[in-house]
Amino acid sequence: MMTLDLIPSSFKEFLKETGAIARFAWKFFRVGFKPPYEVKEFLRQCFLIGNKSFTLVATTGFIMGLVLTLQTRPTLIEFGAESWMPSMVGIAIVREIGPMVTALICAGRIGSSIGAELGSMKVTEQIDAMEVSGTNPFKFLVATRVLATTLMLPILVIMADTVALFGSWLVENVKGDVSYELYFRQVFAYLHFSDVIPAFVKCFFFGFVIGIVGCYKGYYSKKGTEGVGKAANTAVVLASMLVFVVDFVAVLIADIFYEL
């Protein structure tokens, strides 16, 4: 019979951290939706997360549309299927590439920012001071950031998809003299709700994962300034990994739903 001593220590640490994050998420659902609500802090976090990330997300989306079209166009021309370019790029961006790339970009920018901010507050004992003063630091610091990230990520994905499709049209207009109206008419002709809705819904889970991991790593940061850097770094790595896991589960569920 296998004993606990035979289990690798790294796997034990992984299971331990997974359980700790699950308890942290449960605490968010148990505490975060009870009054009083920190509306001003929530709106401030929405501005910081959404507005401050828009330029990076839009630039990434625009380049993504340009590169995808430039790389795919020669192959479609070779097979005489150039007319399929708008529909193919539209489906690829909306269903998978747009949400995934945007989520990974946000995991790097937002996850590290939240982890570093809360980590610095933890090591300088600002969180302890909030508890002494009678403020609930979990509601003020964690709940507002997780809710803001969950809400803003789908909006950022919609913006990234729009800019990416515009970049794709720009290539088609320069290379093939395709009008704006014709390009987007073909894009929306082959996009269905079964493509848009699952991609949109899973973005909420992406945002929740990024927010909860960043807050967890920062809220329980240790070892002074070294711990702050470690919290920011591990928040990005773990959030990115969980984004892939959530995406796999979402695609699997959507595939089962399509078969029914």
The domain spans of the chain are 39-259
Is residue 35 reached through a cis peptide bond, with omega within 30 degrees of 0 on the bond before it? no
Residue 227: the pLDDT is 81
From the list 209, 245, 239, the residue with the least C-alpha distance to 108 is 239
| Biggest distance spanned by C-alpha atoms of the chain | 70
Name the burial class of residue 195, with classes exposed (0-12), middle (13-18) and buried (19+) by CB atoms within 10 angstroms of its CB: middle
Name the burial class of residue 83, with classes exposed (0-12), middle (13-18) and buried (19+) by CB atoms within 10 angstroms of its CB: exposed
Residue 26: the pLDDT is 93
Residue 79: the pLDDT is 83
Write the DSSP symbol of residue 82.
Answer: G
Residue 18: the pLDDT is 84
Residue 3: the pLDDT is 55
**Dihedral sign (CA 39, 44, 47, 48):** negative
Task: Profile the chain (260 residues) by mean pLDDT over runs of 10 residues.
Answer: 59 80 92 87 92 91 93 86 87 93 93 91 86 85 95 95 94 86 89 87 95 93 80 91 93 78
Residue 5: the pLDDT is 61
pTM assigned to the model: 0.91
User: How far, in Å, CA of 171 to CA of 77, rounded?
Assistant: 14
Residue 1: the pLDDT is 42
Identify whether the C-beta of residue 169 lies closer than 8 Å to the C-beta of residue 178.
yes
